[in-house]
Amino acid sequence: MVADDGTQSRQEAGAAASNALPSDAPWWVRWTRWRQQSVTEGEAWETELLKRCCKTPMVASNVRVGPGKHDYIHTVSGGTPGQPPLVMAPGYAAGLGFYWRQFDALAPHFSLHAIDWLGTGLSGRPAFSARGREQTEAFFLESLRAWKSKMGVGKMVLMGHSLGGYLSACYALKYPEDVEHLILVCPAGVPQVPDDWQTRFQTMPTSRRMLFKTLMWTWDQGLTPGAVVRTLGPFGPGLCKGYVNSRFNRGGDGLTADEAAVFHRYFYQITAAPGSGEYALRHLLAPGAWAHAPLERRLHELSVPVTFVYGEGDWMRPEHAVNLCKRLREDGAPLCTSDKRVEIIDDAGHFVFLEQPALFNRSVIDACETVLGRAAARAAAHAMPRAAEQTHTAEMSRWAYRQGSGVDSGGGGKGAGGDAGAGSEPAASHT
């Protein structure tokens, strides 16, 4: 069904999909396709994920952002009308469904909109023709601004995870008038390549150097996790199932069997969809996930409040944001109490919002104290689980390099690990 404003609503279709899951498709459909993926199945599994895993009513829609057939941004909206808008953007090879553990807690305090970036998730998959960093950033930023205009969203709290955090920061730099507060969750692209990166690379064991060179070659060729899953055909769902069961049960609040059963099917659908936005990666990040235009060189121009949130074991290395925020505070006083601040949540990694949802949701409320009003934010935070010993505001004394041994986290919680001084682990599949 297409609404008069050009937005395709799935309110009615979603209810029907929840009663007719993809597994109910005729056997000859399920067994005669190389890829077990379609838009209809993806929408059905997203609907099932939200129905089973959260209580907040969320309305799904496809919002037109351009003239082409595939120029639309998939959105789910809910929460409290009249409250400040919170726009939630996922990371690379992820989708808005990854935020299912936020909707119930944040809905009373915000007008919620979770999106899939153009060319990703369940959004349209136009041919990706961007070349170079500036064109690639424009592919995402201009479509997001068109979405905002079509949706009638006012000045927003913009929250982005990983590569979505990098893009959200780029959006706030280009269109600060649209953003009330910027929340960067484990953002990619913060540090620049260290001066001694090549020296450290040469000191790696030969086997590791060869592996990394292979990864560099595949990165430069544009090989993506989605391409691998699509190539595997009927074996792709099994790979996604194994990844979800392994990756999202490492610590914190692991997935229940029921959650994992639906989530891995949703994850397969968005991963096996035709390639589009996934090809942006090499234009934005170099091998090793070093940004071509690092945020630490760009955020000095930011004119809106920014809060960073990390899991303590995040491979994106929180100390880079700690160092950056220290320099930003030296440039000028914070615009609010949560501006230029880094929140670090213990017993969590790169997917902190899935691994420690209660603590993460509280951090979002705390970050938005000025937006929500101090009294309202404190009341909301007070109603959430309190675990002060598991959440802390990073200080420089807590995060210091130990050459050759990763990060010194003060002896508490899980260290970030990885190569000393590296911005990321090169083998990671999500950013």
Of 350, 366, 409, 419, the catalytic one is 350
Question: Under 8 Å CB-to-CB from 243, ≥6 apart: which residues?
Answer: 264, 267, 429
Which of 391, 396, 398, 413 shows the shortest CA–CA distance to 345? 391
350 assigned to active site: yes
Of 314, 339, 346, 366, the catalytic one is 314
Of 162, 168, 276, 424, the catalytic one is 162
Instruction: Give phi and psi for 407, each to the nearest 5.
Output: -120, 140
The C-alpha atoms of residue 288 and residue 285 are separated, in whole angstroms, by 8
Percent helix, strand, coil in the chain, to 5, is: 45, 15, 40
Contact 7, 61 (CB under 8 A): yes
The amino acid that residue 282 corresponds to is R
Structure tokens, 50:
């939200």
The C-alpha atoms of residue 76 and residue 7 are separated, in whole angstroms, by 12
Contact 398, 407 (CB under 8 A): no
Which of 40, 76, 30, 35 shows the shortest CA–CA distance to 57? 76
DSSP readout, 359-411? HHHHHHHHHTHHHH-HHHHHHHHHHS---GGGEEE--TTT-EE-TTS-EE-TT
The four Cα atoms 203, 207, 208, 212 give a dihedral, to 10 degrees, of: 110
| 252 Ramachandran zone, left/alpha/beta (phi>0; psi -120 to 50) | left
9 assigned to active site: no
74 assigned to active site: no
The residues that bridge with 159 in the sheet, in sequence order, are 88, 183
Which of 307, 397, 368, 424 shows the shortest CA–CA distance to 108? 368
Other CB atoms within a 10 A radius of the CB of residue 71 amount to: 17
| Active site amino acids | 162, 314, 350
